[in-house]
Structure 1
Amino acid sequence: MFFFRKLNRTRIWQFWGGLDALYLLWYVSSSTRLGKVPFWDDLAVATEVLKEHGTAALVMVMINWGLQLSIVVSAFLFLFQRKEAKWLGLAQIPLRLVFVVPSFSVLLIGAYFFPGYNPLMMLGVIVLSEIIKGWSLCAIRNDPR
């Protein structure tokens, strides 16, 4: 029980907000390192893909862009302790699984530095991280603020 008393909403939300911010920092730095303009060059590539693959690709790209935008918003909501963070964080879970964007963003960084990882194991760890996030957002007691 001691473990659960130490985990309160403030700490959990700072943790998930920090990981969202880390994901965004990693994304921007990776794009910049490759000589790309973050988000803008990805939009240009997506436009080319859409020309070749049509409506289904358009839907997937729009959903993915929605997820990326929601990660920016959730980082701020979690870090500023807004109650909407819980619902946005929970709503992101299925999309994060579909697009393989783990909430525990350190997994992406690890995959970069250890390219020989087992993809099935990585997928399992991503699923586990989303389960932990969902549990932590629903089960941890709220601060009386």
Structure 2
Amino acid sequence: MNKKSVFLFWAAMDFLYVLGFLYFNLSRGRIPLYDDVLSFAQVNLQFGENLLTLFFVGSMLLTISIPVTMWMLFRQHPWARFVAYVQVPFRLCFSVPSLSFIPWVISLFQLKQALIMIFILFVSEILKVISLYKVDVRQKEGR
């Protein structure tokens, strides 16, 4: 596989995530991100305030960064790989697989075993990192 096809594949996966995110929110009459901020502001933050805030901010940063990464991968921007690598721990923490169709497959097969879902999430991220790394190595070797 060449760099362009790998980057376009992962850009398409991010695009699929963005479409799903928008559909999920708009079909419920919610304004994406805005209603999330309003809901968070209404939460009683007495217990675990700092941790909850940290999780919310991390989740929002990931959600906002995915369309940015999508655009960077689509344009084959030199920093796209770096941004995608930085997203990996956030994707793992918030269970947002890079293979964006995975949640639909899980719901289709009604998988409920947490261990299997965690395994699939890790495999998704490993595949992304390896594929992006390999095209970088091949490019530097002149292949």
Which TM bucket (shorter chain)? 0.7 to 0.9
Matches within 5 A, 1:101-112: 101-112=96-107
TM-score calculated relative to the size of structure 2: 0.87
Alignment match, 1:48 = 42
Alignment match, 2:33 = 39
Extract unaligned runs of 5+ from structure 1: 1-6
User: Is 1:29 equivalent to 2:57 in the alignment?
Assistant: no
Alignment match, 1:66 = 61
1:18-56 superposed Cα distances (whole Å, 9 cap, x missing partner): 100110100100111122111111111122236344121
The AA in structure 2 aligned to 1:88 is V
Alignment match, 1:4 = none
**Identical aligned pairs, as a percentage?**
27
Q: CA RMSD in A?
A: 1.8
Give the whole-Å Cα distance in 1 for the aligned partners of 2:60 and 2:34. 12
Give the whole-Å Cα distance in 2 for the aligned partners of 1:83 and 1:21. 19
Give the whole-Å Cα distance in 2 for the aligned partners of 1:118 and 1:139. 32
Query: Which of 119, 133, 140 matches 1:138?
Result: 133
Alignment match, 1:98 = 93
Query: Which of 10, 14, 22 matches 1:16?
Result: 10
SS at match of 1:51: coil
Give the whole-Å Cα distance in 1 for the aligned partners of 2:32 and 2:108. 21
Give the whole-Å Cα distance in 2 for the aligned partners of 1:52 and 1:18. 41
Aligned pair count reads: 138
Extract unaligned runs of 5+ from structure 2: none
Q: CA deviation at 1:59?
A: 1.3
TM-score calculated relative to the size of structure 1: 0.86
